[in-house]
Chains A and B, each alone.
Chain A
């Protein structure tokens, strides 16, 4: 079964509205990475979170890693049409190598 759950699956927002996607792992993660994938494209690395409770910001994007290192979130403030795409979280499990376990992704559409 899916080891990293991500919700929602789809999110439709009006341009200027905020957007949040959440990831939850059944096991503790060593770190989590976030990727953005445009239709027909490949996952593009956004950020990596390693420390418990870590918060990182990239312009309008805010990433959080939970205290227990089992959950994470990505929040976009004041969405723009260029934010359209599917956002994936991908975690690395403790002592299980470098492979990434992806969440199902959240597909964001932004209406101008």
Chain B
């Protein structure tokens, strides 16, 4: 079965650079969530989209922005990168309304390293 696709899988950036992470949800899933997982920590919710509109916002820095496109893929844009942004970034998708009981399926993640 098709899963969530994330690209790139690994990304190395310098401080103050920008990065763009991409997420392709499972076909027919219209809700996308972004999570950040630091080393040895649990995933922290950043932002979510339903039907191309932002549905919820968590602890996402102002330096980050995201959007969901007409084909339901999503991109997380990160600017002025800091060392503390080094983490695993997961995208998860679900088939239903944001706020439903639908299962969230996680992608393989993008490992961002900021030097």
Residues of A in contact with B (beta carbons under 8 Å apart): 30-31, 33, 35, 41-45, 48, 50, 88, 90, 92, 96-105
Tell me whether A88 and B42 are in contact (CB under 8 A): yes
**Provided the pairs A33-B104, A43-B90, A45-B105 are in contact, do residues A97 and B42 lie with their beta carbons within 8 angstroms?**
no
Residues of A within 8 A of B105 (CB): 45
Residues of B in contact with A (beta carbons under 8 Å apart): 31, 33, 35, 41-45, 48, 55-56, 58, 90, 92, 94, 97-109
List, sorted by A's number, 29 A–B pairs whose CB atoms are closer than 8 Å.
Answer: A31-B101, A33-B104, A42-B108, A42-B109, A43-B90, A45-B103, A45-B104, A45-B106, A48-B103, A50-B101, A88-B42, A97-B56, A97-B98, A98-B48, A98-B94, A98-B97, A98-B98, A98-B99, A98-B100, A98-B104, A99-B33, A99-B56, A100-B33, A100-B43, A100-B92, A100-B104, A101-B45, A104-B41, A104-B42
CB A54 to nearest CB in B, in angstroms, measures 12
Tell me whether B103 and A103 are in contact (CB under 8 A): no
The 4 closest A-B pairs by CB, nearest first: A102-B42, A99-B45, A97-B56, A98-B98
Residues of B within 8 A of A42 (CB): 90, 106-109
**From A33, A43, A98, A102, residue with most partner B Cβ within 10 Å:** A98
Q: Closest A-chain residue to B4, C-beta based?
A: A42
Residues of B within 8 A of A101 (CB): 45
Residues of B within 8 A of A88 (CB): 42-43
**Provided the pairs A43-B43, A102-B43 are in contact, do residues A97 and B99 lie with their beta carbons within 8 angstroms?**
yes
Tell me whether B45 and A100 are in contact (CB under 8 A): yes
CB B36 to nearest CB in A, in angstroms, measures 11
Given contacts A35-B106, A43-B90, 18 further A-B contacts (CB under 8 A): A42-B106, A48-B101, A88-B42, A92-B99, A96-B56, A96-B99, A97-B48, A98-B55, A98-B56, A98-B99, A98-B100, A98-B102, A98-B104, A99-B48, A99-B58, A100-B45, A100-B92, A105-B42
